[in-house]
Amino acid sequence: MTNKLFFAAALLAALCGQAEAASLIADGAWNAFDVDNSVSNSGNLEWIDLDNNALSFDFTLTESAYLKVVDAGFAGDRFNVYDNGVLLDQTSAVANTYPGSIGLNFDTAYASDIFSKGLFLLSAGSHSITGLLSQSALDNSNLPINATVGAVSLTAVPLPAAAWLYLTGTALMGFISRCRKANSLEQAS
């Protein structure tokens, strides 16, 4: 099994040698990609950009962040997601519902149980996210379509310290307000 993973990672690294790099920031915005082996410059099933070149999302994190991956083409697709050539995992398995598609509505696709999705926690450091269509939706003849649209999104992990700071500040404001109100009532009587 380890040899298969190593081979898949090596194959993907070779495919992505001519990859176009897109920057990704932790703002929660969706960044689209395509998969279509009939137009891909390599003829394979990796994520591609609008110029049909292999696509990687490259970025450096100073703190942990969540990477979301979603398919919004035809339900039934599934992706292998890689970070620096190492398999993170596959997106969720879903039933084939061809020809149902929601196009580019990635928020709806991610909220749905119909489309494949994945959530990955990334640590601080440099990342190069790539993907490969590992399972394709099937057409009416039960043949793989091997073409879809998907997206990735990066969101910073909320810091627990920030939540405690907010709660402490709110409690302190309430205490000060209560003290002022008590002082006002004492002075009035």
- What per-residue confidence (pLDDT) applies to 184? 66
CATH architecture of the domain with residue range 2-157: Sandwich (2.60)
Domain map (residue ranges) of the chain? 2-157, 159-189
pLDDT over 60 (residue 84) = yes
Write the pLDDT tens digit of every residue in 143-171. 999 999 999 999 998 766 555 566 676 77
Write the pLDDT tens digit of every residue in 41-61. 999 999 999 999 999 999 999
- What per-residue confidence (pLDDT) applies to 101? 83
Which tokens is 67 given?
């990477």
Rounded CA separation 16/73 (Å)? 22
